[in-house]
Amino acid sequence: MKITKLTLLITLILITSCASRKEFVYFQGEKEIKTNTNFEPKLGQDDFLNIIIFGCDEESLKIFNIPPSATNSTNRGYYVGASATQGYLINEKGEIDFPVIGKIVVGGLTRDEAADLIKSKLNVYLKDPKVNIQIQNFKITILGDVKNPGTIQVPNERITLLEAIGIVGDLNITAKRKNILVLRTEKGKNIEYRVDLTNKDFLNSPVFYLNQNDVIFVEANKTKINSSNVSASSSMVVAIASLLITTINVLTK
């Protein structure tokens, strides 16, 4: 009889495992999906830019370059640490205030497009200038049912949702892989995207490549939520019982 029960238990576990496989395996489907790798983020409000101008006349370049600071420190790893203290902050109109030139609208442009725009304005003052732009505060945030939730600083300004998930240690086994929420700000509006990591179509999603300041939320499944509720209820019961026992002991002494 015991052997029969054990066999039934093992069979149930195997059946459950087979049934739940679709909930955990990424990129299911037979068709081949090709991902567009020509991605470059566009600059937007609150991006903090480091802009360096190069050229032949070093003396003339000084007025266009912010002098280096001993206190300037940039985190070159993934997790957020000290940020750069000098640079150009894009305002709500998409503008930066550049030396000599004044206001320049760079919001909505890629880094290369912004560099070409600044170069065209510098041609009046410099001979064959070169412009280098880096986004100093390119970061994304992952919350919810992952191993190590938090904010990630991206040093190379290019990261996929999969890479971000890998950096935080992957999703927990209790995470919902079919309903990942990505919050993105576009043209001053908050846009919601829903992603199914178990479907290959995700590779062509507009959030396969993440933009700066994207927020990813991973929802826990019902089993984890219910177990958390049971645990909380149990803790409350234990606390109330302990209080009652203490009160009875005090009153009966």
Query: Model confidence over 174-190: pLDDT tens digits?
Result: 999 999 999 998 877 89
Q: Are residues 122 and 169 in the same domain?
A: no
176 in any annotated domain: yes
Token readout for 77 is 């790893």
Question: Coil, strand or helix: which one is 9?
Answer: helix
Can you tell me the distance from the alpha carbon of 18 to that of 96, in angstroms, rounded to the nearest whole number? 56
Query: Of 141, 145, 201, which is closest to residue 176 (Cα–Cα)?
Result: 145
Predicted local confidence at residue 15, as pLDDT = 45
CATH number, residue 199 = 3.10.560.10
Place of tokens 């991973």: 218
Can you tell me the distance from the alpha carbon of 165 to that of 154, in angstroms, rounded to the nearest whole number? 13
Q: Are residues 59 and 110 in the same domain?
A: yes
200 in any annotated domain: yes
Q: Are residues 128 and 192 in the same domain?
A: no
Can you tell me the distance from the alpha carbon of 49 to that of 86, in angstroms, rounded to the nearest whole number? 9
Q: Are residues 156 and 94 in the same domain?
A: no
Q: Are residues 122 and 166 in the same domain?
A: no
Which residue type does 186 have? E
H helix or E strand, kind and range, residue 218: strand 215-218
Query: Model confidence over 118-151: pLDDT tens digits?
Result: 999 999 999 899 999 999 999 999 999 999 999 9
Rounded to two decimals, what is the model's pTM? 0.69
* Structural domain boundaries, residue 179: 139-220
251 in any annotated domain: no
Can you tell me the distance from the alpha carbon of 43 to that of 110, in angstroms, rounded to the nearest whole number? 6
3-state helix, strand, coil in the chain (%, to 5): 30, 25, 45
